Amino acid sequence: MTDLLGAPVEAAAVFGPALPLLERYAGLLAGPGVERGLLGPREAPRLWERHLLNCAGLAELLAPGQVVADLGSGAGLPGIVLAAMRPDVTVVLIEPLLRRATFLQQAVAELGLRTVVVRRARAEELAGRLVVDCVTARAVAPLDRLAGWALPLLSPGGRLLAVKGERAEGELAGAGAALEAAGASAAEVVTVGTGRTEARVVVVTRGARVVPAARSAARPSVRPGGIAATGKRRNRP
């Protein structure tokens, strides 16, 4: 059970030592986030179940030391949740809209997230300038369009993690040609989390084919020291 903004009882087991930080983040979402139109007012009572817990399972798919770009980050979902849960990775929050990018910068500063960078830009503008190990996306765009934006940011073998819920298999089935054209070598649907944290994620792996514009791309300076649809459950690498 939970009150209006209080964390549900399972949040302690899911988030562990990151829970106090995420409670502060929930307060920012329900306050300035709603006031600035990043979230609708009806979302505040269901922040934990619909948003924060829904993002938690993605942490299973990240390896230590990776650089992760959260594409179309909006209010910071899932990027800020992942940064709080996995301080061993660097997270780049990519958001083109000024009011959203401003909120993200303020949230990162207030929460003291030293492994997070905010980039106000479109993904297309960063191709050739930013290379990451992983791109995350939640409620951004259909998979065929999303792959065209995300894969140029990935190093060969890097992965796009697109949270799609019940639409995952359908979107993957219809995006095969677009994924191949974007340079994907494999794609599958995996289930992460359990219970209220369970989420369906399309995992798209970029192949070895190099996009010419990306050859001189650099990683963020803050970094700390044949396509088929399948359904699998993954554990943390």
Mean per-residue pLDDT, 75-98: 97
With bands split at pLDDT 50, 70 and 90, how would you rate the model's confidence at 215? very low
| pLDDT value, residue 179 | 95
Mean per-residue pLDDT, 96-101: 96
Identify the structural domains of the chain with CATH numbers, from first to last: 11-211+226-233 (3.40.50.150)
Question: Token pair of 229, please?
Answer: 């649809």
In this predicted structure, the answer to whether residue 9 has a pLDDT above a threshold of 80 is yes
In this predicted structure, the answer to whether residue 99 has a pLDDT above a threshold of 60 is yes
- Taking alpha carbons only, the member of 194, 61, 202, 190 closest to residue 141 is 202
Counting residues of the chain whose pLDDT is more than 70, the rounded percentage is 86
| pLDDT value, residue 5 | 61
Q: Look over the chain and give the mean of its residue pLDDT values, rounded to a whole number.
A: 87
With bands split at pLDDT 50, 70 and 90, how would you rate the model's confidence at 226? very low
Mean per-residue pLDDT, 149-155: 97
119 versus 213: the higher-pLDDT residue is 119
Phi, psi dihedral angles at 230 (to 5 degrees): -135, 165
In this predicted structure, the answer to whether residue 147 has a pLDDT above a threshold of 70 is yes
In this predicted structure, the answer to whether residue 89 has a pLDDT above a threshold of 90 is yes
Phi, psi dihedral angles at 211 (to 5 degrees): -75, 120
- Taking alpha carbons only, the member of 136, 231, 141 closest to residue 187 is 231
161-173 pLDDT, tens digit per residue, is 999 988 899 999 9
CA distance 34 to 130: 31
181-198 pLDDT, tens digit per residue, is 999 999 999 999 888 788
CA distance 112 to 98: 21
In this predicted structure, the answer to whether residue 108 has a pLDDT above a threshold of 60 is yes
Q: Answer positive or negative: Cα dihedral of 69, 72, 75, 77.
A: negative
Question: Token pair of 186, please?
Answer: 């494999």
